[in-house]
Structure 1
């Protein structure tokens, strides 16, 4: 199904795989739409990224989103740890560095973040973006990253959250792409003309 707006087709999908080039504007737009499905004033966004600058995911958010979330938690798994103290970030942004070669440590950080969010008072929506799959796949076997993705996804789904992953299909063989497709409720393919091909199980 081709559409210019993915919202109506993914609203009820707790897990989504976005297939598209990382720097494509359509990919960025799809990411922001997926993270904004709930009222942003009650939404905690958790973004696992490999941006060389921690300002990059914040810039992408402000350029594509209509408003700021209650909190944007950036877990940075870039090979070079970001200088968080010197980043001069907005008050709603929190940044942590993580080692991309240590999936156990990354999982612990995510569990701790989830625990902190669950202790927040009032209505809490948790929306998670993994746009660092490619980096994790550089440091571990595909089967290991796949199992990690499944386990971490279950953490957030059990808390009522939504999770989406990014993968550039041109960088991997079909077997790898199909493997990650298999654990998703919906797949969004970003087309060259900026439209989306949305398929759901």
Structure 2
């Protein structure tokens, strides 16, 4: 299922929201999105899938992209979105994929408004650096208002349970 979902994400989608239950393995989708890049930055909160993602990236590729990890809770305080933004910005460069696992955890430390502002700024930083970002979110852990608000910040939304991909209209009009 993940290969067909990935095929529906436009190549010029620089930000993608991956909605998937936390228990479900989303590594195939994440690996596909990260594998398009030359470098990967895995941003993980405690209990995230960072190690599984690192392993999966290395498995299928004879020459996997270099991976840097940013451990929220060790490298930066969980509620310090300013510090987190600075740490991510320092690792950005052309053709870098930021894998953010997970918005579900971030929303436990920061309210929707602060999280929205953080992700808006992060999306702009990624675009300016020529990087891409995808964010993982358990839709069961967020209310409809939060899901709707965060969806406005990205170019595409992948819903792994429904098997759907929603793309920002500006990207589909180019085709």
Structure 2 length-normalised TM: 0.83
SS in 2 for 1:6: helix
2:72 maps to 77
- 1:67–1:173: structure 2 CA closer, same or farther, 3 Å change rule? farther
Number of equivalent positions: 166
**2 CA distance for matches of 1:6 and 1:197?**
7
Cα pair distance change 1:55/1:185, threshold 3 Å = closer
Distance 1:56 1:70, change over 3 A: closer
Partner of 1:93: none
Partner SS state of residue 41, structure 2 = strand
Match of 1:199 in 2: 166
Structure 2: tracts of 5 or more residues without a match: 169-175
The gaps in structure 1 that reach 5 residues or longer are 82-96, 119-123
Answer 1 or 2: which has greater helix percent: 2
Deviation of the 1:56 alpha carbon: 4.2
Partners of 2:166 and 2:62 in 1: how far apart? Answer: 28
Which secondary structure state, in structure 2, belongs to the residue aligned with residue 134 of structure 1? helix
Partner of 1:103: 81
Q: Deviations over 1:58-102 (max 9, x none)?
A: 234345x43453311111114xx3xxxxxxxxxxxxxxx221111
CA contact (8 A) 2:3 2:29 kept: no
Specify the structure having the higher radius of gyration (Cα): 1
Over aligned residue pairs, what C-alpha RMSD do you find?
Answer: 2.3
**Under a length normalisation based on structure 1, what TM-score does the superposition of the two structures give?**
0.73
- Secondary structure at the residue paired with 2:136? strand
